[in-house]
Amino acid sequence: MTLRKPSRREESGRSVAIYGITLGALTIAACDHYDFHHDPAGAGRPAARAGAAGAGASSVQGAGGSGGTLSLTGGSAGTEPVAGGGTGGAAAPYIDPASGLFFPGVGGAPTEEGCASLATQPFCDQMIYNVAPARRTLYSWTTAEQVAELRADKVLLTRTETAGLGRGYAFTAIDALAARGSAPENQLLAKLSGELFVKVRYAWPNAWATRMGWPGEDYGDQLLRIVLKPEAWIVIVSDGVGLAVIDMNNELVPVADALAHSERIGAVYFYKRDVTGQGTFQSCSGGYREFIVGNEAMIEEWSLGTTEIHERIVADAVLMEDFLGELRSMPSSVDPATFNQDVVCSWDYAPSDQVGRYERSLSIPSEYYAPLPEALASLSQTLRASLFDPDPLSVRPGD
C-alpha cells in the first residue's frame, strides 16, 4: 500500500489508523486464500505468523472435522463433522490481553514513488519506519576513553549505564510495561531489563543521525560499526504501548518463542512519542528512536578505526553538504521549536520530498537536526572533525 504524505495536521489525525490497517492485514492473512474443500483431515489454517492449527477429527463419512481454535502455541483439535472438509480456526491475537499491553503495529513499510531509484534520491536507503525497523548494520558513537578499553579488552558490551545519565529512559519504559501483568509479554520485558540486556550499547543505522545528540549531551567522536547476525531477533518496544518481536525480514516472531529462545534476541528497537489529543487535534512531541544492542552472542562483528568506517563518515559529511546546497535554494517552513512534533507525527507515513526522507532517517529529531542551513553546516563540520587516521580493529565475538 502506498500512503501519500498528508498535511501535518492530517498526519496527526491519521497516526493511529496505520495500526488498524496493520492489524487488519494480519487478520486477512489468517483466513484468506485457503481452499477448505481440499482439506480432508480438517486442518485449520494457521494464524498469521503464529502457531499451527489443530487438526479436526474425521467424521464417520471421512469428511473431516472443523479446525481447532488457534493460539500462538498451536490449535486444539476440532470435533464437529463438516461435509467436504474442515473449516479454518480463528486467529489468536498477537498480544495476550492479560498482559495489559497493546500491539504497536508491524508490517510493510510505506513506499514512495520518488525512491524508485536509490542512485538519484538521497536518504531513500536510510529511512527507518517503526513498523519495519529491522537492520543488521548499526553505528554507535563513543569516547576515546572507551575506545582504549575496547582495544585492550576486545569486549564490546561493558557498561551498565552511561556515566551521569543512568541506564536510559528506555529501560524505565520497559520496566513499566513489564509491571502491567504476568503474561509472557511481561515476562519477556522483565527478562530483557533484568537479565538479558544488563550491559548495552546504543546505536542507529545512520551514523550521521546520532552524532549531534540532544542539547547538553555528547556521545563521543569515535565511531563503532556493529553487525548483528542474520538469525538475530529484535524486540520492538513502543513507549507506553507494548511490544512485538521481529526477525531480520521484519516478520513477526511469536512472543512465546522469543521468551523460550531469548538467546536469539540481539537488539531492542525503542521508540518514544508523547501523543496528546485525537483525530485532527492530535499532536506529538518528545519523540526519539534508538537501537539498544545487548547480546554479544548475536553480534557477528564489531569494528573501529577501519577504512570502511572512515569512508562512511566522509560519505555522510558529503551527503549533508549536498543536502545543504539544495536547501539553500528552497524556501523553508521548518520551525526548530516544533520540529520534533512535526517529525514524530509523520514517522509512519511515506514522505513526499527530500526533506521528508531526511526526517524519516532521524533517530533524534532535536533542533540540532532541523533541516536548516545552520544546523546542517554544523553537522557536516562535526562529522569531518570526527575523521581519523585508520587503525583498524575488527572483532568477531566467540572466535
Q: Mind listing the pLDDT tens digit for each residue in 136-189?
A: 999 999 999 999 999 999 999 998 876 666 788 999 999 999 999 999 999 999
What does the alpha-carbon distance between residue 324 and residue 321 come to, in Å, rounded to a whole number?
5
pLDDT for residue 391: 98
pLDDT for residue 118: 59
Q: What's phi and psi for 88, nearest 5 deg?
A: -75, 150
Helix (H) or strand (E) holding 275: strand 265-276
pLDDT for residue 218: 87
pLDDT for residue 108: 83
**Beta-carbon contacts of residue 124 (< 8 Å; ≥ 6 apart):** 112, 114, 115, 118, 357
What does the alpha-carbon distance between residue 156 and residue 150 come to, in Å, rounded to a whole number?
6
Cα–Cα distance list, 273 to 7, 128, 340, 370, 371 (Å): 19, 15, 9, 18, 20
What does the alpha-carbon distance between residue 64 and residue 39 come to, in Å, rounded to a whole number?
8
What does the alpha-carbon distance between residue 137 and residue 126 come to, in Å, rounded to a whole number?
12
Q: Are 67 and 45 in contact, with CB atoms under 8 Å apart?
A: yes
What is the value of pTM for the model shown?
0.79
What does the alpha-carbon distance between residue 184 and residue 192 come to, in Å, rounded to a whole number?
12
Residue among 194, 239, 196, 234 at smallest CA distance from 102: 239
pLDDT for residue 114: 78
What does the alpha-carbon distance between residue 143 and residue 181 come to, in Å, rounded to a whole number?
39
Cα–Cα distance list, 396 to 83, 156, 300 (Å): 58, 10, 6
Helix (H) or strand (E) holding 259: helix 255-260
- Low-confidence stretches of the chain (pLDDT < 70) are 1-90, 117-120, 162-165, 275-283, 285, 331
Set of cell numbers at residue 50: 503464529
Q: Are 45 and 78 in contact, with CB atoms under 8 Å apart?
A: no
- Return the amino acid letter for 327: L
Domain boundaries, the chain: 1-92, 102-395
Set of cell numbers at residue 352: 513526499
**Beta-carbon contacts of residue 160 (< 8 Å; ≥ 6 apart):** 167, 198, 199, 200
Q: Are strands 265-276 and 233-238 parallel, antiparallel or unpaired?
A: parallel
> How far, in whole angstroms, is CA 361 from its chain's centroid?
12
pLDDT for residue 161: 75
